[in-house]
Amino acid sequence: MDNNEKRMVYTQFIDGALTAGSNRESWINYNPADNTPLGEVYQAKDEDIEAAVNSSEKAFHIWRNKTGAERGRVLLKTAEILRYRLEQIALLETQDVGKPISESLAVDVSSAADALEYFGGMAATIHGDYVDLKNAFGYTRPEPLGVCAGIGAWNYPIQIAAWKAAPALACGNAMIFKPSELTPATALELAKAFMEAGAPPGLFNVVQGDGRVGAMLTGHPRIAKISLTGSVPTGKKILAGAANQLKKVTLELGGKSPLIVFEDADIPNAVSAAMLANFYTQGEVCSNGTRVFVQQQILDAFLVQLKERTEKIRIGDPADPDTQMGALISKAHLEKVSRFIDSGKASGATLLTGGIRPEKDFKGRDITSGNFLTPAIFTNCDDSMEICREEIFGPVLSILSFDSEEEVIARANNTEFGLSAGVFTNDIKRGHRVIHQLQAGTCWINNYNITPIELPFGGYKQSGLGRENSLAAIQHYTQLKSVYVELGNVESPY
């Protein structure tokens, strides 16, 4: 088969089926592992957005009149279908993102199914309150918003789509989802699974495209809410674009999070966490602990173990089950991360290891055609360095030493971000005392980046608005009506 025959076509999924739509503008989607073309992606145009909104409104009117239990059953069935198709969808995700297949199997598709199961199970329990009043009573109704839009980033495509769709649909809404222009594939698999599970056509529509399509969704008067996972600059554009309609917005944005290791920490565990917090998914994770603060007393011992274990990470073909680190999402992103490596060196930090483009992978295969970068560790860093202030979104770990608890808390908080934070210590009082003072929304003590669906995920400060997952998500996909019921007469002075 020549390349053309193997090429996918990524189109819209509107009203229950793939549709070529306007089909006027397209671009090529590349496999980060070797930059070969995977297929052609078609940019949605105005008429496609209108078709998606019309279809979603139709589905919403059917869906909102179902009971929570009926809605829950469709979400649970969708989760079952994803788990049944785990291998197939995981491979699509790995080809799109460049992440190791072991990650796509263990995390991406599974956590999408987890979200659908969690909110599918909760759908029947979403209810209001009843209040006894004087010769009257009151009750509240958590009502759906209508048609909601989800806009995704490229690092966890199907997880992001499901973390938005599951609560949205459980609360009775319909959703139009736009995946990142770099990863068009698996949102379409989620859309197919919803249909097979019995969702009304249009309940979960997918439109493809870049920021222009995201802006069209943001400005559309019949879309009630926008939920973004993406960068801080994009979050600000969406909030501005939603302002004139006072549209509801939730934002899951970037970070430059601290991971603090105290002198009494279990060093092997702390090193494991630092590696997970910087090199998992090639470091392309928003909540990563990229500023690793290590108390002076254990700095040398920590660095010896961190360097030795980091240099053993198996980089290579993401489709190989033995691979532990794959390719960065694009050539452009690889260039951007490489510029941060140069910046770190130019600013006087020491590149302890990594930060180079390997020619061979751990099995000796030529990987020069892919976007590979060996995991980098900088030491002798200063808080003011660009690599310690800006989100790099790549495998670049900055080590910062500290002496006292008060000092490290102040330094950890000295950022406009506030997504996550981690603390390693065996002193239970210190662990909670410190984590309570860190200005971050998603925190860990003696672990990092574990995000069970039962806990809220989201940021303080410029890392976002609102929360995903847990019961907290329900308030972002419902609007609360209060009803007062008179059992007597109207007492009137007139």
| Residues designated as active site | 164, 252, 286, 468
What letter represents residue 149's amino acid? A
Give the integer Cα–Cα distance in Å for 263 and 292.
Answer: 13
Shorter beta-carbon distance to ligand TXE: residue 203 or 285: 285
Residue 253 DSSP label: -
Strand 17-19 and strand 36-42: pairing?
unpaired
Least distance to ligand TXE from the beta carbon of 243, Å? 13
What letter represents residue 460's amino acid? Y
Q: Nearest-CA neighbor of 314 among 358, 271, 350?
A: 358
Shorter beta-carbon distance to ligand TXE: residue 412 or 440: 440
How remote is the C-alpha of 160 from its chain's centroid?
5
Shorter beta-carbon distance to ligand TXE: residue 161 or 399: 161
Give the integer Cα–Cα distance in Å for 473 and 164.
Answer: 9
Give the integer Cα–Cα distance in Å for 174 and 224.
Answer: 10
Least distance to ligand TXE from the beta carbon of 276, Å? 15
Least distance to ligand TXE from the beta carbon of 59, Å? 22
Query: What beta strand segments (E) does 135-195 contain?
Result: 136-144, 147-151, 174-178
Least distance to ligand TXE from the beta carbon of 245, Å? 14
**Host H or E run for residue 338:** helix 331-346
Task: Answer whether 197's CB lies under 8 Å from 169's CB.
Answer: no
Binding site for ligand TXE (CB under 6 A): 151-155, 178, 180-181, 210-211, 214-215, 218, 228-231, 234, 237-238, 252-254, 286, 391, 393, 419, 464
Beta bridge partners of 19: 12
Measured CA angle at 25 (ends 20, 31), to 5 deg: 85
Least distance to ligand TXE from the beta carbon of 238, Å? 5
Shorter beta-carbon distance to ligand TXE: residue 114 or 252: 252
Shorter beta-carbon distance to ligand TXE: residue 234 or 323: 234
